[in-house]
Chains A and B, each alone.
Chain A
Amino acid sequence: MKLCVLYSGGKDSNLALLKAAESGHEVVCLLSLKPVSADSEVFHYPNVELTHLQAKAMDIPLISVECGDEEEGSLLALKDGLRKAKDFGVEGVVTGAIRSTYQASRFQRICYTLDLWCFNPLWLRDEVSILREVVERKFEVVIVRVAGIKRSFLGRRIDESMIRELKKLKGYVNPAGEGGEYETLVLNMPLFRRRIVIEDFEIVGKEIDAMMVVKKARLIPK
């Protein structure tokens, strides 16, 4: 089946993409939503421009759609993007949704309306097991946004020691970051033919609500 992956550039959408590709389906395009400001409730947004570089690293076409802050605008943009994906012959959509019934039911409803199959291969996964799988499968992942956790986590790679630190915070933070406590950027994973290097960045924001804005990045051979 030809699939489109709802792609934020973070670890969850990349792991979902890898699982879809490995299951024998053909990922023919990625769909990325670009919120016009940083307050979107539904989608993950830091450094969304870098999804173009990630798509290039995988040689998979990217559909990028701008969306408004409010829920209705975001969902209309998602629908619009999925209609464009259908031009690629897409029959199904893959998301990296883990536990949010709010997100999942909205995606399911849109797919149902557009007569698309909906795949959520990380659904109900234990958050720490996702972090472990990402590390075991040699993803290079950095934290690019924090909200409610330490600003010093920005730019840190997800590795075993980072997982241990995130597990310690588990009482009040979802270790996989799905609740928006932190956001990630994937610089390399098995489907990347080239990897991303960050050459310049800036940290913006307050102590517990901050973001690493990548100002310059490029692809290099793996």
Chain B
Amino acid sequence: MVAIISLCKHRLHEEEFVKPVVEIARKVADIEITRVSEDVDNRKIRKRHKGAIVCGTALKDFDYLQKDFSWLLDFEFVLGICAGYQVLARLFSANISRIERIGVHEVICKRENPLFEGRFRAYFLHELALSIKDVLDVFEVLAVCENEVAAFKVKSKEFYGVSFHPEVLSPEIIEKFVELSSERS
């Protein structure tokens, strides 16, 4: 089972940022949805799931930046999407830069990894991301989009972050992550 974690301040945004991820993940494994904005017992979630997908949220939604996500460290596998990517980056002390990107852009894979390869087009919707010049040694850069780290892996863990929304044009990334966390759990 994989936990799908919503960072959305407004429930109406879950239709857009969480539900599509749920639909893709559900084809591969059982999933459970958790809202971070509610007072959830994170220990219980961790006991039930080895993998988690932290979904993105709206451009103007930054409430998640005020929350403590140290509980994510107990998962074996995490995929952070957009805002979820920022959560993971901050969890490992990365300096997030103001990089606005809205729309479809080309992503270039820079390092072999289990989720994607080559060049592909992806849908972006963010104003914060990791700049390639600021990457700490704790991260492996898996893909770039111009000056931005489009995907990273935390070296010491199976934690992946993608600054784009794979649910829009690259659903196979979500499917592969769910398969990966199911195979090794």
Contact A121 B16 (CB under 8 A): yes
Contact of A123 among B10, B20, B102 (CB under 8 A): B20
Q: Which residue of A lies closest to B101 (CB)?
A: A105
Contact A122 B15 (CB under 8 A): yes
- Contact flags (1/0) for B20-41 with A, using CB distance below 8 Å? 1001000000000000000000
Extra pairs beyond A19-B12, A20-B12, A101-B168 (19, CB < 8 Å): A19-B15, A23-B10, A23-B11, A25-B10, A25-B12, A101-B104, A105-B102, A105-B125, A108-B59, A108-B125, A111-B59, A112-B59, A112-B127, A117-B10, A119-B16, A120-B15, A121-B16, A124-B16, A124-B20
Q: Which residue of B lies closest to A107 (CB)?
A: B102
Query: Does chain A have a CB within 8 A of B133?
Result: no
- Contact flags (1/0) for A174-185 with B, using CB distance below 8 Å? 000000000000
Number of A-B residue pairs at CB separation under 8 A: 62
Cβ of B107 to closest chain A Cβ, rounded Å = 14
A76 and B105 alpha carbons, distance in the complex (Å): 24
Tell me which residues across on chain B come within 8 A of A101, comparing CB atoms.
Answer: 103-104, 123, 168-169
Tell me which residues across on chain B come within 8 A of A119, comparing CB atoms.
Answer: 10, 12-13, 16, 58
Tell me which residues across on chain A come within 8 A of B58, comparing CB atoms.
Answer: 117-119
Contact A121 B168 (CB under 8 A): no
Contact of B167 among A24, A108, A124 (CB under 8 A): A124
Query: Does chain A have a CB within 8 A of B98?
Result: no
A116 and B60 alpha carbons, distance in the complex (Å): 8
Tell me which residues across on chain A come within 8 A of B100, comparing CB atoms.
Answer: 112
Tell me which residues across on chain B come within 8 A of A116, comparing CB atoms.
Answer: 60
Tell me which residues across on chain A come within 8 A of B104, comparing CB atoms.
Answer: 101, 105
- Contact flags (1/0) for A71-112 with B, using CB distance below 8 Å? 000000000000000000000000000000100010011011
Cβ of A183 to closest chain B Cβ, rounded Å = 23
Q: Which residue of A lies closest to B17 (CB)?
A: A123
Query: Does chain B have a CB within 8 A of A198?
Result: no
Cβ of A210 to closest chain B Cβ, rounded Å = 33
Query: Does chain B have a CB within 8 A of A217?
Result: no
Tell me which residues across on chain A come within 8 A of B127, comparing CB atoms.
Answer: 112
- Contact flags (1/0) for B53-68 with A, using CB distance below 8 Å? 0000011110000000
A49 and B20 alpha carbons, distance in the complex (Å): 34
Cβ of B108 to closest chain A Cβ, rounded Å = 19
Query: Does chain B have a CB within 8 A of A162?
Result: no
Contact of B59 among A20, A118, A121 (CB under 8 A): A118
Q: Which residue of B lies closest to A126 (CB)?
A: B23
